[in-house]
Amino acid sequence: MIDTSISSCANSNASLGIDQACFSILNLYINPVIFYAIAWEAYTGTGVPLATLTPKSNTSLIISTKYPLHIYYQTVEPHKNYEYCHTTYTFKEYGSYGWNISSADICSNIYVIHEPRNSYFPILTAFMIYILLAVTWTTSKVIIRVIRGKLSPNNVYDDLNRLQEENTTHPVIRVTKFSSRIQSVDAFRGIAILLMIFVNNGGGKYVFFNHSAWFGLSVADLILPWFAWIMGMSITISKRAELRLTTSRVKITLCCLRRSAILILLGLMLNSIDSKSLNDLRFPGILQLLAVSYFVCAILETIFMKPHSQDILLQFGRFAIFRDILDSWPQWLIMAGIMTTHTLITFFLHMPNCPTGYFGPGGKYHYRGKYMNCTAGAAGYIDRLIFGNHTYSKIKDSIYGQILRYDPEGLMNTISAIFIVYLGVHAGKILLLYYQGNARLIRWFLWAIFTGIIAGILCNFENEGGVIPVSKRMMTLSYVLTCSSFAFLLYAILYFLIDYKQFWSGAPFIYAGINPIFLYVGHVLTKDLFPWAWNIAHPSHASLLAMNLWTTTLWAIIAYLLYRKDIIITI
């Protein structure tokens, strides 16, 4: 989090790196003091000691600008170790700041010596470039159609150009593997996978494009739940189609088992890239989590789903308006049982020397190290008990210090993912059981509001508050509901624009959404290889953002080429 070395950075920005600023502290106090700092969101009474400030001197430190910092100093007089001048400040990248300490509890406000740079300008520039390219591409296609004399409303709205006419009297329909796909589903999935590629490659080293420290929500924290959610919607669509083709439920079950096994194998293969031996091979992982959650929800739908919708009024009568819920009440009962079990384990499982219901990271700097060996609460305890060393290997946290091993895709988090997938399954039920676009949109919006409100109540509408705080690292229930709320909302918007009103074809995201697993595995294997990535001698937000966007764009181009060749790589 903070460079503890003393530096002469006050006179030059040359020594500053990404997310760093210079902080000069003038100690006019008659005694030396110890300077402390810690990210504000992690402050619970203890900071990280950075430097001892000698009396009557100026000390320059390189400090992090990733998060707002809580700073203070402590005296080192015999029997008088008091803390003074607690304050929180948001430092900006490449800025130079000053702070004067004159006596006990008498400090100046933090002042700016040299103005910081605008580190967000590269994002604005990149956004404008992509908008310009999109407008240019769309305009050129319209002009070409005008020149060819084939301009029509269908051509304007159908950028995929799946239905083309050779002349006005003999239309030729191009039938491909993609012709019967729901474009809004592919677009949603494509957004998730391209965001995942961008974030996994670094996201330009911007904080909001990386996972939150422990509590709270960032852009990166939405991606995996969205991918799981849209996978659930695909389960509903595919299983209904398979059952209508009179495929036996046993055969469907075996296909689900095969697909899950392949995903788990692929996940273990990708984990082996960072493992030195089988003794420390990580067993959980993203693909493993998706495999298990997919299998549970797919099997439930295979067992309980009706292949053909019966007459709604005869089946549900006056309650037909709730047919999406009533049609799948056994699945909802099972989901309620699963999440109730998950919650009871979280709040009542006994852990040695740890409180029940703990959601924190543990470590030296969370609650003054009181729960140092309680990382991730019940979820972390279960993962360490079952998987041992076969879990996520990172135990040095930049904010909380040394923490115990845990796995963000461990057993308890996989159970949470099952609920995310099933909420996507339910979104698919709305798509299948309601035939009017307005009825579908209203229900998706209502579910977005409902899940969002429940999530807010659980976390008290705070990052680290309420009965169940929002935490991606533990996939808490409030986090699951928050991400699902955004998923319902995003999909409703995509459906309205793409399938309902046909204002947009969904390009270029639909191409990536057709082969998502291929793109995910491919980007992991080529993560550090040219032409996807290269070494940058003096990295900055701008240079890293350009490289990460190029990587993402290259995979989008590969996805488009697969589409043009009519290739779908499935497992």
- Which residues are known to be catalytic? 211
Cα–Cα distance, 218 to 240 (Å, whole number): 35
- CA-nearest of 102, 103, 105, 3 to 51 is 3
Name 91's Cβ contacts closer than 8 Å, sequence gap at least 6: 21, 23, 63, 64, 65, 69, 97, 116
- CA-nearest of 133, 134, 125 to 504 is 134
Q: What is the DSSP string of 243-263?
A: HHTT--HHHHHHHHHHHHHHH
Within 10 angstroms of residue 272's Cβ, the number of other Cβ atoms is: 13
CA 477 to chain centre: 15
In angstroms, what CA-CA distances link 547 with 199, 347, 477, 485, 542?
12, 44, 35, 32, 9
Enter the tokens of residue 253: 């079950």
Give the number of residues written for the chain: 571
Residue type for position 445: F
Within 10 angstroms of residue 488's Cβ, the number of other Cβ atoms is: 25
Cα–Cα distance, 473 to 216 (Å, whole number): 10
Name the DSSP class of 354: B
Cα–Cα distance, 555 to 560 (Å, whole number): 9
Dihedral, 267, 268, 271, 277 alpha carbons, nearest 10: 180
Within 10 angstroms of residue 501's Cβ, the number of other Cβ atoms is: 11
- CA-nearest of 420, 434, 424, 387 to 406 is 387
